[in-house]
Amino acid sequence: MSALLTIIIPAYNEAESLPSVLPSLLEKCKEENWKIIVVNDGSKDNTENVLDQFTNEPLLTVIKHKVNRGYGGAIKTGIQNTTTPYCITFDADGQHQINGVKLILQRMLSEDADMIVGSRIGSVSSGMFRETGKWIIRQIAKILMPINVQDINSGLKMYNTELAQKYIALCPNSMAYSDIITMIFISQKHLVLEEKIEVSKRIAGTSTIGVRTAFQTVIEIINILMLFNPLKIFIPLSLLFAFITTLWQIPIFIRGNGLSVGALFGYIFAFVIFLLGLIAEQLGLIRKLIINKNE
C-alpha cells in the first residue's frame, strides 16, 4: 500500500533535539507507512552528523540547504519534494506530539479537508511577550480577511499536497510562512479546519521569533491581501481621506467660503486611492486566473 502522508521537519541547529525526536517519529512512521522529510536548513551545529546516523532508514529523506533559507524556505523545499497525497509540517524541537497526527489525518480524509491547522490555544504558553505578539497578528489578519482559524501561525499544519505545492511560491521564506499559507488557503475558498493539539516545551535550543518576525509577518499579510483582496485596503483608505476632508471642509463651508483648495485636493486624493484600488483588484484577478490555470 502506498504511503498517504509525509511528515516535513525543518531543522536549523537542532542537533540536541533531533536524537530524541526522530526515533519516536520513525517508529510511528513504520507502523503507519508514513514518510519523513527532514530539511537541514544550513545548520551550523552538529545537525548534519546527527542526521547521518539515520541514513539507513528507508522512510526518511534528508535534504540539505547549503545556506540558511529560513523556516518557510525549509518547509517549501520539503513540500516540493513530497510525493504523498498529504503532508504535515512538524517542528524539530520536540514541541509537537506524533500521537495526534493520525487523528488529524483521519479527520482530513473523513471531512475531505484541504488543510487542518493544529491549534495550540490553551496549551503550554510560550511567554507573555510572544503570546501577545501572536494575538496581535491574529487580530490584524482577522480585520483584513474573514478567518475562522484561531491559531493561524501554528507550525503544525496538514495539507493537501497538490494544493500546497501550488501555493508555496506565493509564500515567504521567513517565519511569516505559517500565517501566509493559511491565509492563502482561506482566501482561495479551500476547506480549512482546526484541530486542538497538545504542545510540549522545547527539548533544547531557543526560539528565533521576535519583534522583527512579527513585523515581517504583518507586512506579508498585507502583501497577500493586496494580491487577493486589495479593495479591502483601498476602499477604507479612500473613505477615510474623504471623511477627514469633509471634516476639514465643513467649517469653511459654514463661513460661506465655498470649497477650499485643500478640500479639493483631499477629495481628489481619496478618488485616486479608490482608482488605484480598482487597478489593484484587476491585477489580482489576473493573478488568480494564472494560479487557477496552473491547477
CA distance 252 to 28: 74
Report the share of the chain in percent with pLDDT over 90. Answer: 49
Estimate to the nearest angstrom the gap between the alpha carbon of 255 and the chain centroid. 54
pLDDT > 90? residue 220:
no
Report how far apart, in Å, the C-alpha atoms of 79 and of each of 99, 112, 191, 207 are: 22, 20, 19, 23
CA distance 202 to 206: 8
Residue 206 pLDDT level (bands cut at 50, 70, 90): low
CA distance 42 to 65: 5
Q: What is the pLDDT averaged over residues 250-268?
A: 87
Least confident of 46-60, 128-142, 233-247: 128-142
CA distance 140 to 253: 37
Average pLDDT of the chain is 84
Estimate to the nearest angstrom the gap between the alpha carbon of 283 and the chain centroid. 23
Span 3-38, pLDDT tens digits = 899 999 999 999 999 999 999 999 999 999 999 999
Report how far apart, in Å, the C-alpha atoms of 267 and of each of 74, 156, 261 are: 47, 47, 10
Report the share of the chain in percent with pLDDT over 70. Answer: 78
The pLDDT value recorded for residue 291 is 58
The pLDDT value recorded for residue 176 is 82
The pLDDT value recorded for residue 136 is 62
Report how far apart, in Å, the C-alpha atoms of 61 and of each of 10, 15, 105, 114 are: 12, 17, 21, 24
CA distance 120 to 164: 22
Centre a 10 Å sphere on the Cβ of residue 288 and count the other Cβ atoms it contains: 14
The pLDDT value recorded for residue 65 is 96
CA distance 290 to 59: 35
Centre a 10 Å sphere on the Cβ of residue 204 and count the other Cβ atoms it contains: 14
Q: What is the pLDDT averaged over residues 65-88?
A: 96
CA distance 232 to 141: 12
| pLDDT, greater one: 41 or 223 | 41
pTM for the full model? 0.75
Strands 157-160 and 115-119: antiparallel
pLDDT > 60? residue 51:
yes
Q: What is the pLDDT averaged over residues 36-45?
A: 96
Q: Which of 62, 66, 36 lies closest to 51 in space, CA to CA?
A: 62
Least confident of 31-45, 101-115, 145-159: 145-159
Residue 102 pLDDT level (bands cut at 50, 70, 90): very high
